[in-house]
């Protein structure tokens, strides 16, 4: 569990440039509607033990759902989440259960049959790292986790005439789904499309959001661990990113899940000129917050050598800032495309993308059929998988550089 969980942490507050939630005004203006929408509902949260899942659960529990069931493949993560919720205030509802299962596979289907129907399936299960497209095996698992599992669940229930076990759905997306350059972003766009073509039968909403500062596995959380282990830190010198706190991410998902209309995607309204931050500058600010001056190094060998020489009273910290050269990296973020139908009036700090109801399901079915055919082959090739994604996501602008993040500090 990350130690950086709210906007009141001094560094996050300084990084974000605000001392209260970005969404505070929208939450206040919609407090009654949120309370009415959540109270008394039966919720199943999948991927609940991850950073964003935890943040969402903490927000939802305040609005008194009747049942709160949490599922995650991380048994240890669920245990810690239960301890956290049981020790906190308000306490979970009487009908509170956890299940060590994931979105794919027969276990969740049986869970839905046994304990459903739920008012909402709230899905945070995801592989979120661009590095997961480094090889065909990780890439295929990422697509199955991000899009294939929900496709199977919706399609299976459609074909055999059974209800899917929930009335509405929410699946978290990413800013990288807008004109994606990475397979991760394309897989999330495929997820949005899978939901869209089933939207008449199972209404859904989603949220695209910025990088969550110090979320599990994030670059910032990696810097924290590098300090603990007395290792050099690294960041791309030419990449800019938006940031949100855990609290804000949970609040955005709460608004999208319960106040978002069918086929709508919510995203934070951030100012590119003020909020889009160079990662190098963020790294330098992070080091200074911890009392260190950045010591830029020419290469990884120098950075490691300087780290070995760190003394207990050192005031400088070795760091490596290099231009990005890895496949799939986007230089900056955008939450929507110029031709998207976006409502900027409903909320003060949230935009709402209205997705069309008449999406052709043929490319989605073709893409999924092709991916499943590839999965049945004795050998998987990354270019074949990339081309299968393009069937449903033709705007996918993938550039293969031959380098991935596992090859860099």
Which is more confident, 327 or 262? Answer: 262
Q: Which residues of 105-120 are buried (b: 16+ CB within 10 A; e: fewer)?
A: eeebbebbeebbebbb
Q: Which of 10-19, 64-73, 201-210 has the lowest mean pLDDT?
A: 10-19
Look at residue 129 and tell me whether its pLDDT is greater than 80: no
Alpha-carbon distance of 113 to 25, in angstroms, equals 39
Look at residue 19 and tell me whether its pLDDT is greater than 90: no
Q: Which of 243-247, 283-287, 371-375, 401-405 has the lowest mean pLDDT?
A: 401-405
Which pLDDT value is given to residue 310?
86
Which pLDDT value is given to residue 407?
60
Three-state DSSP class for 214? coil
- For residues 41 and 66, the answer to whether their CB atoms sit within 8 Å is yes
pLDDT, tens digit (0-9, with 9 covering 90-100), for 286-321: 999 999 999 999 999 999 999 988 877 788 999 999
Domains delineated in the chain: 10-227+243-275+334-407 (3.40.50.720), 278-322 (3.90.25.40)
Look at residue 7 and tell me whether its pLDDT is greater than 50: no
Which is more confident, 402 or 357? Answer: 357
* Strand 204-207 versus strand 264-268 pairing type: parallel
Which is more confident, 231 or 409? Answer: 231
Nearest to 124 by CA among 108, 102, 141, 139: 102
**Residue 170, H or E segment:** strand 166-171
Nearest to 268 by CA among 178, 347, 329: 347
Q: In angstroms, what CA-CA distances link 281 with 119, 215, 238? A: 44, 19, 10
Look at residue 43 and tell me whether its pLDDT is greater than 80: yes
Tokens found for residue 34:
């949120």
Look at residue 5 and tell me whether its pLDDT is greater than 60: no
Nearest to 183 by CA among 220, 137, 238, 239: 137
Work out the end-to-end distance of the chain between its first and last CA atoms, rounded to an integer number of angstroms: 23
Alpha-carbon distance of 278 to 261, in angstroms, equals 34
Alpha-carbon distance of 311 to 80, in angstroms, equals 35
Mean pLDDT of 323-349: 83
Three-state DSSP class for 102? coil
Q: In angstroms, what CA-CA distances link 269 with 118, 164, 245, 335? A: 31, 33, 14, 9
Q: Which of 9-18, 30-39, 71-80, 168-177 has the lowest mean pLDDT?
A: 9-18
Alpha-carbon distance of 112 to 108, in angstroms, equals 6
Count the Cβ atoms, other than its own, within 10 Å of residue 288: 13
Mean pLDDT of 219-233: 92
**Residue 243, H or E segment:** strand 243-244
Please tell me what DSSP assigns to residue 327. Answer: T
Alpha-carbon distance of 343 to 385, in angstroms, equals 34
Please tell me what DSSP assigns to residue 199. Answer: T
Mean pLDDT of 253-257: 98
Three-state DSSP class for 340? coil
Q: Which residues of 170-193 are buried (b: 16+ CB within 10 A; e: fewer)?
A: bbbbbbbbbbbbbbbbbbbbbbbb
């Amino acid at each position: 569990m990350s130690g950086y969980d709210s906007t009141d942490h001094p560094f996050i507050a300084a990084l974000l440039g605000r001392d209260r939630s970005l969404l505070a005004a929208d939450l206040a203006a919609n407090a009654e509607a949120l309370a009415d929408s959540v109270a008394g509902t039966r919720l199943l949260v999948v991927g609940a033990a991850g950073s964003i899942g935890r943040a969402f659960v903490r927000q939802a529990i305040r609005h008194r759902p009747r049942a709160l069931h949490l599922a995650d493949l991380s048994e240890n993560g669920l245990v810690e989440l239960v301890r956290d919720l049981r020790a906190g205030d308000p306490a979970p509802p009487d009908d509170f259960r956890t299940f060590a299962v994931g979105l794919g596979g027969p276990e969740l289907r049986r869970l839905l049959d046994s304990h459903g129907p739920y008012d909402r399936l709230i899905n945070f299960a995801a592989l979120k790292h661009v590095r997961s497209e480094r090889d065909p095996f990780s890439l295929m698992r990422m697509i199955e986790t991000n899009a294939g599992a929900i496709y199977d669940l919706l399609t299976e229930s459609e074909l055999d005439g059974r209800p899917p076990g929930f009335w509405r759905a929410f699946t978290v997306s990413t800013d990288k789904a807008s004109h994606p350059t990475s397979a991760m972003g394309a897989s999330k766009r495929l997820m949005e499309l899978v939901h869209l073509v089933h939207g008449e039968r199972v209404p859904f909403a989603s949220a695209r959001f910025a990088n969550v500062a110090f979320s599990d596995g994030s670059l910032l959380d990696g810097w924290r661990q590098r300090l603990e282990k007395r290792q050099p830190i690294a960041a791309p010198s030419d990449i800019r990113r938006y940031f949100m706190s855990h609290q804000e991410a949970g609040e955005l998902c709460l608004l999208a899940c319960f106040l978002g209309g069918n086929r709508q995607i919510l995203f934070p309204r951030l100012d590119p000129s003020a909020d889009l931050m160079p990662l190098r500058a963020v790294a330098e600010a992070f080091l200074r917050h911890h009392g260190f001056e950045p010591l830029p190094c020419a290469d990884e060998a120098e950075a490691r050598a300087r780290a070995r020489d760190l003394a207990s009273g050192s005031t400088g910290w070795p760091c490596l800032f290099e231009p990005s050269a890895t496949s799939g990296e986007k230089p900056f973020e955008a939450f929507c495309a110029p031709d998207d139908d976006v409502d900027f009036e409903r909320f003060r700090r949230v935009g709402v993308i209205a997705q069309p109801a008449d999406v052709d399901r043929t490319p989605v079915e073709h893409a999924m059929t092709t991916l499943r055919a590839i999965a049945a082959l004795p050998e998987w090739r990354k270019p074949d998988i990339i081309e299968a994604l393009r069937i449903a996501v033709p705007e996918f602008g993938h550039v293969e550089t031959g380098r991935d993040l596992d090859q860099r500090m």
